[in-house]
Chain A
Amino acid sequence: MSGLFSDFMNLHAVYLKWGWIQVSVTNLIVILLMFTIFALAIFLPFPNKKKGEKK
């Protein structure tokens, strides 16, 4: 395989360590992405919600 994407995919995983906590950068990106999606799901307004509608 060749190309930018496959070159990137064939790199060794980079790991971050804080004491006993160890996480790969890839997994950290996925976790942060899930936090972001969660926050957006909470705060973004839902379309077609009627004005003045009670919770």
Chain B
Amino acid sequence: MSNSPKKPWTAKLREGWQNNLPIEKLLPDTQPAYVASWIYVFGVLTIAALGVILISGLALAFAGPAWYHTSHFGHWVNSLHFWSVQLFFVFMVVHLWGKFWMAAWRGRRLMTWITGSVAFVASIATAFTGYLIQTNFDSQWIAFEAKDGFNSVGIGAFFNVTNLGQMLLLHVAFLPLILGVITFIHVIMVRKRGVVPPIDSDESNTSGGLK
């Protein structure tokens, strides 16, 4: 029998964390030189837009439709939520194009690419359910057009777009949680593997970078 004491799970977790994602990688104070390009800004712009969406969404959830459909400030927060979603998608699509054309899955970054792709799909589902719970003629029209599509592929009974309660709960509870977790993992993967370099760049060139 070995005399070495068995490590508790807390020590294993701590050591695994320190080996895989040291704090210098998690919260860096410099970036590689190749990050000095506008195309590298769109990931953080997407997260910033997501932050505005979550904060304005929380305000809408707490104050309720009787407030955001009737008061001036409620209309403003409702519009802020809507337009930050539009910007979120514009930023995310430009981010996606940028990463696609620089083959961002290189250098053991496949999980970064996959979590980003899943976050994109989850965002579409979240935005779609958001359109369905506007409680106006627009949402009614979208729901009744979409139900035929979902019925035609046999999932209308499980995902009933005309069920306001189901769509509301999916939009404010389930889907934001899924999107938040995937986005968190995506950002952790970016920090773990580093920001992908342009195709013709030297990945080791981290000197003279951004402060």
Q: Kindly list chain B residues whose C-beta atoms are within 8 Å of the C-beta of A53.
A: 33, 36, 208
Q: How far is the CA of A53 from the CA of B42 in the complex (A)?
A: 22
Of the residues B37, B94, B200, contact of A38 by C-beta under 8 Å: B94
CA distance A30 to B94 in the complex (A): 12
**Residue B38 is within 8 A (CB to CB) of chain A in the complex:** yes
Q: C-beta contact mask, B16-58 vs A, less than 8 Å → 1, else 0? A: 0000000000000000011011110110000000000000000
Smallest CB separation, A47 vs chain B (Å): 9
Interface size range on A against B: 10 to 19
> Does A37 reach chain B (CB closer than 8 Å)?
yes
- Separation in Å of the A43 CB from the closest CB of chain B? 9
B178 cross-chain contacts in A, Cβ below 8 A = none
Q: Are A41 and B33 in contact (CB-based, < 8 A)?
A: no
A34 at the interface (CB under 8 A from B): yes
* A48 interface hit (Cβ, 8 Å): yes
Please give, as numbers and ranges, the residues of chain A lying within 8 Å of B202 by CB-CB distance. 54
Across-interface contacts of A33 in B (CB, < 8 A): 90
Among A34, A44, A49, A55, the residue within 8 A (CB) of B93 is: A34
A22-55 residues with Cβ-Cβ distance < 8 A to B are 30, 33-34, 37-38, 40-42, 44, 46, 48-50, 53-55
Contact: B90 with A44, CB < 8 Å?
no
Complex interface: chain B residues within 8 A of A55 (CB): 33-34, 198, 200-201
Of the candidates B94, B97, B210, the one having the most CB atoms from chain A within 10 angstroms of its own CB is: B94
Q: How far is the CA of A50 from the CA of B198 in the complex (A)?
A: 18
The CA-CA distance from A14 to B36 in the complex, in Å, is: 40
CB-CB nearest 9 A-B residue pairs: A41-B38, A49-B36, A41-B39, A46-B36, A55-B201, A38-B94, A46-B37, A38-B97, A37-B94
30 contacts across the A-B interface (CB closer than 8 A): A30-B90, A33-B90, A34-B90, A34-B93, A34-B94, A34-B97, A37-B94, A38-B39, A38-B94, A38-B97, A41-B37, A41-B38, A41-B39, A41-B41, A41-B42, A41-B94, A41-B98, A44-B38, A46-B36, A46-B37, A46-B38, A48-B210, A49-B36, A50-B208, A53-B36, A54-B33, A54-B205, A55-B34, A55-B198, A55-B201
